[in-house]
Amino acid sequence: MEYRKLGNTDLALSAIAYGAFAIGGTMWGGNEKKDSIEAIHAAIDQGITTLDTAPFYGYGLSEELIGEALKGKDRSKVQVLTKFGLVWDGSNNGKGEHFFDMQEDGKTIPIYKFSSKANIIKEVEESLTRLNTDYIDLLQQHWPDATTPIDETMEAMEALIKAGKIRAAGLSNAAVELMKDAGKTFTPASNQVYYSMLHRDIEQELVPYAIENKIGLLAYSPMERGLLSGKYFENNQLKADDHRNGYFSQFDLKKVESFLTGIRPIAESKNATLAQLVLRWTTLQKGITTVLAGARNAEQAIANAQAMQFDLTTEELAFIATELNKF
C-alpha cells in the first residue's frame, strides 16, 4: 500500500481508503453486520488504514460498525474520517437547507443540510460515541449549507481542532469559490469530491486550485457505485430498493460497456480485474490523495487493496485517456 500526506496536515492516508457508505445499508438494500466487520478488518490487514464514514450512512449504523470493528485495534495506526451536516432526526427544528426526502418503511424523512456551529459540535460528540473513539482524524462538512455562513462552519472546526476532538478539518462537495471563502477563516485540509472515469469535471478548476494550495482531494464514487466493475453487464439483478436502479440510468450504458470491453485487456495483462484497474487509474490522477472504495465483505476489501500491487505505463494511461475522450 502507498501512503500520502494530506494537504498541510501531518496525516498520511492510504492511497485506497475504505468507503463505508454501503455498509450503512440505507439506499443499498440493507447490510450484513458480520460481513461488514470482516470487510473492515480485511481492509486494515491489507494496509488500508483510512476509513471514511458519515453519520448519514445508515443513520449512524456505519459509524457504529467502524467503532465495533476497531475494538482491540491500535487506534494510532488507523485514520477515521467522518462528516457532519446532514440532519434526518428533526433536531435542526426546521433550520438549514432542505436537501431531499428519504422514504423509509412508508414514512417520509426530510434530510437537511445544516452546518451551524452548535450542530457541528453536537454531531461530533455523537460521532465520537458511535465510533468509540476520543478523536476524529479528519472531520468533513458533508454538503455545503447555503443557510449557514461558511466562516461559522470553519470557526467551529478550528475550535474542535484546538479542543483535540479532531486532528484536521475538510470540506466535501465544495466548489472552488466555497473553498476560497472557507480559507478566509481557516484553510481546509481537504475536499472530498465525486470523481470517476465518467465524471471528471473537477479536472478543470478544482484540481489545479487544490494542487496550488496544497489541499488534499479525496475521490468518492470512483467505481460509479459498481458500474465500472463491469459486473452489472454480466448480472444486472439489483434489489428493488437499491438506489442504483435509478442512478445507472444517467449513463449511456452501451457506451460504458464498450469502453470497459476496450480497456479489459489492460486489466488482464496485469492479472487484475476491471475494478482494480479503475481504482489504480484513479489513484494516479493529478491531485488525488486517496480514492474511496466501498466493500461489503472481506473478499471485496482485499481486492480493493490489491489494486495498488501493479502500475500503469505511460502508454496504457494514454490509451485509457483516448478511450475516455470518446464519451
State the catalytic residues: 57
Q: How far apart are CA 278 and CA 232, in angstroms?
A: 15
Can you give 187-234 as a three-state secondary structure string? Answer: CCCEEEEECECCECHHHCCHHHHHHHCCCEEEEECCCCCCHHHCHHHC
DSSP code per residue over 136-165: EEEEEESS--TTS-HHHHHHHHHHHHHTTS
Give the type of residue at 33: K
Q: How far apart are CA 107 and CA 101, in angstroms?
A: 10
- Write b or e for each residue in 89-123: b if 16 or more Cβ atoms lie within 10 A of its Cβ, otherwise e: eeebeeebbebeeeeeeeeeeebbbbbbbebbbeb
